Amino acid sequence: MRQIECHEEEIHLCGKIQFFGFLFIFDDSGCIAASENLVELLGTPMKNILGLPMNRVLPLLSTEVEWNLVEIDKQINGEIFVRFVERIRVKEVDYYLSIYRYDRKTYLEIEICNEDHLKATRLFYYAKYLEEQHGNAWQSLTVLIRQIIGFDRVMVYRFEEDSSGQVIAESLADDMDSLIGYRYPEFDIPSQARALYTKFLARHVADIDAPTIAVQGRDAAEIDLTRCSLRALSPVHLQYLRNSGVLASASFSIVIEGKLWGLVACQNRKPLNVDLAQRHLCAFLTQYAINYYLSEHQKENLVAQTIMGVMERDLKSELLVNHDIAVVLERFAPQIMELAVADGLMIKHDRGFKTWGDVPTEQFQQQIDRYLDQLGDNELFATSNFVYDVNEAMESTIFPGIIRINILPSNTWYIYLFRKEHVYEDVWAGKPEKIYQYDPERKVEFPSPRTSFEAWREIMKGKSTKWSRSEIAFVEKVAQITQQAIAQRGGEIAQLNKELMRSNNALDTFGYTLTHDLKNPLSSIKLAAQMMLLKDDLPKDLLRKMANNIMDATTLITEMMDKVYQLTQSNSVSFKLELIDPQIKIMNIVESCKQQFGVTHLEFVLGQTLPVQAERTLLYQLFLNLIGNAIKYSSKKEQPLVEVYSEKQDNSVCYYIKDNGIGMDIQDKANIFEIFKRLPNSQAFEGSGIGLSIVKRIANRLSAKVSVESELNVGTTFCVKFKG
């Protein structure tokens, strides 16, 4: 007896469409197949339809539209998949007609329009809504799609590593129970269905109990309906929906880096059609949410990489000047453990071992080493589900999360990182088990759709939280830095150390600015572009000013990137000092920051601006951080005030940046210039604690001195003293 699996069903070759539409398929010879309900639409037998070329079919559907077949052909035969769409009226009913190319054939679909017309003006509102929901793009997406299609439930369903899925966002009718956090087993969406989701991003069924329409014609059963919006769903899928109490369904694919990351799954308890315009809008908003999610994810990665990069730099510097590797690694062990988000750390070398935090017992450590010795993996090993041989009498804490990395090749120096067991409860939408039925005629077993979706709970044990890619890469970097430091030892240590410090200073100055100071010129470009898009009648003077702002911003970005490129080519960056009057740059910074922080009522006072010896890009970044902070931290005052002025002192020029903002309670003034150092009263303002660290480094590079005076709730004054 043969057992048939879900993934063996060829759902893209079903030969049927849903009741609310009509389908033609053409090749070079003309119409080779069509849905049998076209006889009713056109009032002509099927034999009169088959064989007709498209240029004769289109006038039969509508004489009101001027069909330009050359333009249609040009649109649908491009490098990317594009539909030609036209709204037509047949027998007093409105339809969407769409034409596209696939599998060397041309498909013409006709489907009914819903009565409610979508307004293009709403698109701007939808985009703003997604952006303004404080990072929760998926939840915002479910709210918007439910508004657009009117379904009872819209949820975002994310696929996990084991290919099961979990509901992470949801919008639903008031009388429905939430499914947030519920898991669904892998076999609920078989592999061939997932493959179709990556090719065609919007699928729906208007009424699971409605009759389907057969496709007639040449090789109709073999025609590939992968990209057909009207394709009828698999009987197994329809029964699955019926069992879950759903009569209409829609889904929009979330594809990230070419892989199916998840689905926007929509369910309705009554039949309801989602027409072509609604589906296109929902698919567009889903892509917009994907881009927003990726942007936020990238920002988090940049912050994490910056923090890790600071420790890596300090470790490298220390290893080059301290010959005792064990002492250096032990000094940095707490930081390594914290940045890798581990519960414990152990360094093992030829002189013994030392631990920090919580680590396994000696007996468990021996089990780890025996397993890895048998595995022969001496470089890097990482797992979140290490299985110990546990005696029932043992009450020790379990550490399934392990990273072990070899610090010195051909040696027994290792760093171990440990994570404790993470016990949690999984809630499944029905028990995750596959049930088979027997077909006596075919003498085969086939999978039966699940009938229960009630919460089924399972306690998950034996695993830790998974190590992220960035955490593993960070540990690898620690080992790499250690190995490079040892390799660079020898007669050139003093010279290497000198070059390293010079390179680090340049790297500090420009590396952090890629995620910090570039925001300002990019904001200028964005604001100018938005104004140009939103207003069609801008005066020429204003357009010229905005164009100049864009040119200045792009020039600045280019200069910054040029210096970063220099870093990749050499150990240092050469800076050209010149006499600069910063007045114009200061005014540009003020105008940009007023927009960035929404301080249009700012009172700005600019005093005397004396020229100083500096490098243009560095000077801009220095004033950008100091003036930007002054505007930001005074932005919540009723009458925010910022002053910038300079004065001559002996052979020096002093610039003062003064504000009436929140001020600082600073007992040790040097601490505020430490990277990622943020004072308690600044937590309500956006920031990462990098800005003043950049100011300090730039001042050092320009041989300037920076000082600060501040009083809590009164204001702050920074002074930058440049050499004459």
pLDDT higher than threshold 80 for residue 415: yes
* Least confident piece of the model among 269-273, 523-527, 607-611: 523-527
Question: Which H or E run includes 505?
Answer: helix 493-511
* Least confident piece of the model among 48-52, 236-240, 563-567: 563-567
pLDDT higher than threshold 80 for residue 260: yes
pLDDT of residue 444: 46
* Selected residue with higher pLDDT from 470 and 401: 401
Residues of the chain with CATH 3.30.450.270: 322-423+468-489
pLDDT of residue 496: 41
103 pLDDT band, cuts 50/70/90, is confident
Burial of residue 167 (CB within 10 Å: 0-12, 13-18, 19+) is buried
pLDDT higher than threshold 80 for residue 522: no
What does the pLDDT look like over 342-391, one tens digit per residue? 999 999 887 788 999 999 998 899 899 889 888 876 788 999 989 888 77
List the Cα angle 293/294/296 in 5-degree steps: 65
> What separation in angstroms does the CA of 496 have from each of 315, 449, 485?
15, 67, 10
**How many angstroms separate the most distant Cα atoms in the chain?**
103
* Least confident piece of the model among 130-139, 667-676, 694-703, 710-719: 667-676
pLDDT higher than threshold 60 for residue 568: no
Q: Summarize the confidence of residues 74-93 as an average pLDDT.
A: 87
pLDDT higher than threshold 70 for residue 499: no
498-723 folds as Heat Shock Protein 90 (3.30.565)
Radius of gyration of the chain (CA): 33
518 pLDDT band, cuts 50/70/90, is low
What does the pLDDT look like over 472-485, one tens digit per residue? 988 998 988 888 87
| Spatial distance between the Cα atoms of 246 and 180, rounded to a whole number of angstroms | 18
pLDDT of residue 238: 86
The DSSP secondary structure of 670-705, one letter per residue, reads GGGGSTT---GGGTTS---S-HHHHHHHHHHHTT-E
* Selected residue with higher pLDDT from 448 and 412: 412
pLDDT of residue 4: 38
| Spatial distance between the Cα atoms of 510 and 518, rounded to a whole number of angstroms | 10
pLDDT higher than threshold 50 for residue 113: yes
Query: Whole-angstrom distance between the N-terminal and C-terminal Cα of the chain?
Result: 93
Q: Summarize the confidence of residues 537-563 as an average pLDDT.
A: 69
pLDDT of residue 1: 40
pLDDT of residue 355: 94
* Selected residue with higher pLDDT from 238 and 142: 142
431 pLDDT band, cuts 50/70/90, is low
| Spatial distance between the Cα atoms of 633 and 623, rounded to a whole number of angstroms | 15
* Least confident piece of the model among 26-30, 408-412, 692-696: 408-412
* Least confident piece of the model among 112-116, 427-431, 651-655: 427-431
pLDDT of residue 497: 45
Question: Which H or E run includes 248?
Answer: strand 248-256
Residue 664 DSSP SS3? coil
pLDDT higher than threshold 90 for residue 528: no
The DSSP secondary structure of 705-717, one letter per residue, reads EEEEEEETTTEEE
pLDDT higher than threshold 70 for residue 311: yes
pLDDT of residue 360: 93
Q: Summarize the confidence of residues 381-406 as an average pLDDT.
A: 83
Contact present, 105 and 227 (Cβ < 8 Å): no
8 pLDDT band, cuts 50/70/90, is very low
557 pLDDT band, cuts 50/70/90, is low
pLDDT higher than threshold 60 for residue 678: no
Q: Which amino acid is at 603?
A: E
pLDDT of residue 133: 66
pLDDT of residue 536: 67
Residues of the chain with CATH 3.30.565.10: 498-723
What does the pLDDT look like over 591-639, one tens digit per residue? 888 888 889 899 999 999 999 999 888 888 899 889 998 999 898 899 9
322-423+468-489 folds as Beta-Lactamase (3.30.450)
pLDDT higher than threshold 80 for residue 535: no
pLDDT higher than threshold 90 for residue 440: no
pLDDT higher than threshold 60 for residue 660: yes
Q: Summarize the confidence of residues 21-41 as an average pLDDT.
A: 93
The structure tokens listed for 502 are 């010079």
* Least confident piece of the model among 94-108, 528-542, 616-630: 528-542
Residues of the chain with CATH 3.30.450.20: 16-112
| Spatial distance between the Cα atoms of 567 and 570, rounded to a whole number of angstroms | 5
Residue 416 DSSP SS3? strand
pLDDT of residue 210: 94
pLDDT of residue 239: 84
* Selected residue with higher pLDDT from 712 and 80: 712
- What are residue 236's phi and psi, to 5 degrees? -65, -45
HSE at residue 517, side-chain half, CA atoms within 13 A, is 31
- What is the pLDDT of the chain when averaged over all its residues? 81
pLDDT of residue 539: 76
* Selected residue with higher pLDDT from 474 and 319: 474
Handedness of CA 369, 370, 371, 373 (dihedral sign): positive
pLDDT of residue 162: 77
399 pLDDT band, cuts 50/70/90, is very high
Count other Cβ atoms within 10 Å, centred on residue 666. Answer: 16
Domain at 16-112: CATH code: 3.30.450.20
pLDDT of residue 448: 55
pLDDT higher than threshold 50 for residue 178: yes
Q: Summarize the confidence of residues 251-259 as an average pLDDT.
A: 92
Residues 6+ apart with CB under 8 A from 215: 15, 16, 17, 23, 25, 33, 34, 35, 36, 223
Contact present, 702 and 615 (Cβ < 8 Å): yes
Strands annotated E in 343-420: 344-349, 352-357, 380-383, 401-406, 414-419
Going across the sheet that includes 2-3, the strands are 2-3, 444-448, 435-439
* Selected residue with higher pLDDT from 611 and 511: 611
Percent of the chain with pLDDT over 90: 37
pLDDT higher than threshold 70 for residue 428: no
Percent of the chain with pLDDT over 70: 78
586 pLDDT band, cuts 50/70/90, is very high
Q: Summarize the confidence of residues 66-79 as an average pLDDT.
A: 88
> What separation in angstroms does the CA of 139 have from each of 243, 262, 633?
26, 14, 31
pLDDT of residue 393: 47
